[in-house]
Structure 1
Amino acid sequence: MSAGYELAQVNIGRILAPFDSEVMQGFTSKLQEVNAVADHAEGFVWRLIDEQGSDATAFRVFDDEWLAVNMSVWTSPEALNAYVYGPEHRAMLKRRREWFAHLTEAYSAMWWVPAGHRPTLPEAEKRLTILREKGPTAEAFTMKELFPRPE
């Protein structure tokens, strides 16, 4: 495995209500715990957080106040997959329709970044757009259709 590249991922969701609403309480009440699991997961490198250092709930993408975003960097697809389908995060995935609307277009993308690079929101929007327009490529792909780490 080349240590020169890490895996960036972005995931967006259309929230059903503002984060401070009762509708979102089941999500927001678990967010700190689930993020802490990520922060200590094997292969975790970085995640997008606000200036208070807690989470990414203040960020939006595509100029849409209802599109929430999370973005992180991992050492490998296997490390990301282990976290995503680990017990804490999986429990949240099972309940996602309580808090997020179903999206018909790509809502998650991955791409390789040079080690130490921290992706930006415009970069994440670009990768999602590439995936939506071209399907999986080396520039933007999915867990189902991985592209190899650059040499």
Structure 2
Amino acid sequence: MSRWQLAQTNVGRLAAPKGDARVAEFFAELDAVNALADASPGFVWRLKGEGNDATDLQPTPDPLFIVNISVWTDAEALFDYVYRSGHTTRMAKRRSWFERFDGAFQALWWVPAGYRPTVDEALSRLWILDRYGPSPQAFTFKARFPADAAGPPVDMQPDPWCVGRA
């Protein structure tokens, strides 16, 4: 077993409050997406609030801002879930459920096995990525770093979500 696991966060600002028709499909799909994650190879943990997801947490004063955090065994397992599973088709609808986000909305970083990141830590990783670009402290699929942070970024196939998008 590895001493390291991959933490990820992704954030967004909903296009409307929960209960509004503009985001109804997002909330209707959430349990299925979370169940898919929970059952995916390499899944370790995900942030949950009072319900089965983290959408009821309010990490900022903005009630439409939501945060997701999860931990995976490695980058390949997370990549497969995000871009090669039923999650992919749902993620493609992101623009209809979320406002355009200025800045980094997803960050990856290594944590010791068994560690569970906090919301404050996740938000700080996004800030680091936004401010300084990919580094061992916060990186992306496109420019990821090894768990021991001993080398330069590990090139991975281009992030399909970003290819062809401005």
Coarse TM-score class (shorter-chain normalised): over 0.9
In the other structure, the counterpart of 2:7 is 8
Residue ranges of structure 2 left out of the alignment (5+ in a row)? 150-166
Q: Is the 8 A contact 1:5 1:112 kept in 2?
A: yes
In the other structure, the counterpart of 2:123 is 125
Query: What does residue range 45-124 of structure 1 map to in structure 2 within 5 Å?
Result: 45-52=44-51, 54-124=52-122
Q: Aligned partners of 2:114, 2:25: CA distance in 1, in Å?
A: 34
Structure 1, residues 16-63: CA drift from partner, whole Å, max 9, x if none? 1012221111111111011000000000000001133x1111123343
In the other structure, the counterpart of 2:147 is 149
Aligned residue for 1:23, secondary structure, equals helix
Following TM superposition, the consecutive aligned residue runs of length 4 or more in structure 1 with deviations greater than 6 angstroms are: none
Structure 1, residues 88-108: CA drift from partner, whole Å, max 9, x if none? 211111111110011131110
Structure 1, residues 81-127: CA drift from partner, whole Å, max 9, x if none? 00001342111111111100111311100100000000000101110
RMSD over equivalenced CA pairs, Å: 1.4
In the other structure, the counterpart of 1:30 is 29
Which moves more between the two structures, 57-66 or 98-107? 57-66
Residue ranges of structure 1 left out of the alignment (5+ in a row)? none
Q: Is the 8 A contact 2:14 2:65 kept in 1?
A: yes
Normalised to the residue count of structure 1, the TM-score between the two structures is 0.93
Q: How many residue pairs align between the two structures? A: 149
Q: Aligned partners of 1:81, 1:89: CA distance in 2, in Å?
A: 11
Q: With CA pairs under 8 Å and 6+ residues apart, which has the higher RCO, 1 or 2? A: 1
Which moves more between the two structures, 7-16 or 18-27? 18-27
